[in-house]
Amino acid sequence: MSALDFRARLGALARDDLTRTRLTLDAPCGPEAVVDGQHLIAFAGNDYLGLANHPEVVEALREGASRWGAGAGASHLVSGHQRPHEELEQALAAFTGLARALFFSTGYMANLALLPALAGRGDTLIADRLNHASLVDAALLSRATVRRYPHGDIAAVARMLASAVGRKVVVTDGVFSMDGDIAPLSDLLALCEQHDALLVVDDAHGFGVLGERGRGVLSHSGLASPRIIYIGTLGKAAGVAGAFVAGHADLIEWLMQTGRSYRYTTAAPPALACALLVSLGLIEAGDGRRATLAAHRERLKQGLTDLRWPLMPSHTAIQPLQVGTNADVLALGAQLRARGVWAPAIRPPTVPAGTARLRISLSAAHTGEHLDALCRALIEAGHD
Ligand SMILES: *Cc1c(COP(=O)(O)O)cnc(C)c1O
């Protein structure tokens, strides 16, 4: 072994079909991508409502930059907290119906601040095995004891809570990012009440998509409790960038005071907050977009009834096809690309070994014709 053996390490990745390649896009985020001159119908992003390139959002970003400049210049607690950031936090709290919201520059950063603010040495974090990588990393950073339960296994959560020491926090994705299923939140909340635990819900894929007017998975599940800490991300359905943590006002104040990835980083450009305020209005008025998304989901299910690979059960915009091996999912991805359709092959460690999948994600910006082209390409690939 040498310090510079990266060639060998990369070779090992390649042998396991785990090398990632980036595609360079020559068009804005949208349902039709241009890659190396090839036009592709893209089912690859998380822009579920089609807001990433919405003219009103883009214009708000432009105007925000004219009014507020390019950068915030410092962290929020020093001198970087500007009026648009403040207005956005108030709008996010009002929209979600939670007492207070704190804005972060990314969801990854929000999670890295949150879990160590809630639990430390001697405490216990109880986490779903399929949680997003940012929650896994945040849990490690907290230095709390981390117990991971089999996906959605309420009985396991109950056992872990019963034997947990210190402060107890249950942590779950709201909508699982690579599966599309929804966490059993009311059962988790009941257990948290029984055991005086907090419940952290990362709703990166439910915010804007689920619930009344897109308020997210808590609204979808009819849940409200001061024990719930809600994370919404703003680079997916909201179409811009950033994230927020919302909940009990004292808890959010504690997070602001102590969250290290909140304090020790420069605030996001205020123009992003200007764009997000407009995006939030479009989400709230977006029942039509959410209805289109639901219709696309139905069209996909109907179109793929006899396909060789099963669609995983999902009531959200994330519609993965379970394929199996890394090599097979890469081959399927390539067959689709040859037919002008792009859906990403998702492999370990993003998903457990042996469960490689094609992650189809739908957007209100897709048309029925886009969906039909996807179904046709998949059926043809299934016959190859
Ligand atoms: C995408 C995602 C994040 C990270 O959010 P970013 O704003 O992209 O950093 C966090 N949690 C979940 C569940 C996600 O899917």
Judge if 33 and 173 occupy the same domain. no
Judge if 176 and 126 occupy the same domain. yes
Q: Is 313 a domain residue?
A: yes
Examine residue 349 and say whether the peptide bond preceding it is cis (omega within 30 degrees of 0).
yes
pLDDT at 87 (0 to 100)? 98
Number of domains into which the chain is organized = 2
Judge if 266 and 339 occupy the same domain. no
Q: Is 67 a domain residue?
A: yes
Dihedral of alpha carbons 365, 370, 293, 89, sign: negative
Lowest-pLDDT range of 110-114, 154-158, 308-312: 308-312
Which pLDDT tens digit goes with each residue over 23-57?
999 999 999 999 999 999 999 999 999 999 999 99
Q: Is 188 a domain residue?
A: yes
Looking at 284, 302, 329, which one is the last position of a domain? Answer: 284
Distance 350 CA to ligand 1 centre (A): 13
Judge if 260 and 303 occupy the same domain. no
Q: Is 4 a domain residue?
A: no
Distance 307 CA to ligand 1 centre (A): 30
Judge if 156 and 187 occupy the same domain. yes
Angle value at C-alpha 92, between 173 and 317, nearest 5 degrees: 40
Judge if 260 and 332 occupy the same domain. no
User: Using CA positions, which residue lies closest to atom 14 of ligand 1?
Assistant: 204
pLDDT at 212 (0 to 100)? 98
Looking at 249, 284, 319, which one is the last position of a domain? Answer: 284
Judge if 124 and 188 occupy the same domain. yes
- Spatial CB neighbours of 145, under 8 Å, sequence gap ≥ 6: 122, 123, 124, 125, 164, 165, 166
- What is the percent of the chain with per-residue pLDDT over 70, rounded to a whole number? 100
Judge if 43 and 161 occupy the same domain. no
Looking at 284, 301, 328, which one is the last position of a domain? Answer: 284
Active site amino acids: 177, 205, 236
Helix axes 133-142, 107-118, angle to 10 degrees: 30
Judge if 61 and 201 occupy the same domain. yes
Which residue range forms the structural domain that includes residue 106? 55-284
CATH (domain of 168): 3.40.640.10
Q: Is 333 a domain residue?
A: yes
Judge if 91 and 121 occupy the same domain. yes
pLDDT at 173 (0 to 100)? 98
Is 168 in contact with 198 (CB distance < 8 Å)?
yes
Judge if 222 and 82 occupy the same domain. yes
Mean pLDDT of 336-348: 95
Judge if 101 and 22 occupy the same domain. no
Please give the biggest Cα pair distance in the chain: 60
Of 112, 114, 134, best ligand 1 pocket probe by most atoms within 8 Å of the beta carbon = 134
Name the pLDDT band for 384 (thresholds 50, 70, 90). Answer: confident
Please state the atom number of ligand 1 nearest to the C-alpha of residue 106: 7
- Spatial CB neighbours of 52, under 8 Å, sequence gap ≥ 6: 28, 29, 30, 45, 239, 240
Angle value at C-alpha 132, between 52 and 47, nearest 5 degrees: 15
Q: Is 360 a domain residue?
A: yes
- Helical H segments across the chain, by residue range: 6-15, 55-68, 83-96, 107-118, 133-142, 154-162, 185-194, 217-221, 249-258, 260-263, 270-284, 287-303, 326-338, 368-383
The position carrying tokens 């090599």 is 327
Distance 233 CA to ligand 1 centre (A): 6
pLDDT at 336 over 90: yes
Which pLDDT tens digit goes with each residue over 299-319?
999 999 889 998 998 989 999
Mean pLDDT of 322-346: 94
Distance 142 CA to ligand 1 centre (A): 18
pLDDT at 278 (0 to 100)? 98
In the structure encoding, which two tokens stand for residue 89, read together? 């936090």
In the structure encoding, which two tokens stand for residue 126, read together? 């109880």
Which residues form the pocket of ligand 1, taking CB atoms under 6 Å from any ligand atom? 106-108, 111, 132, 134, 173, 177, 202, 204-205, 233, 235, 243
Q: Is 7 a domain residue?
A: no
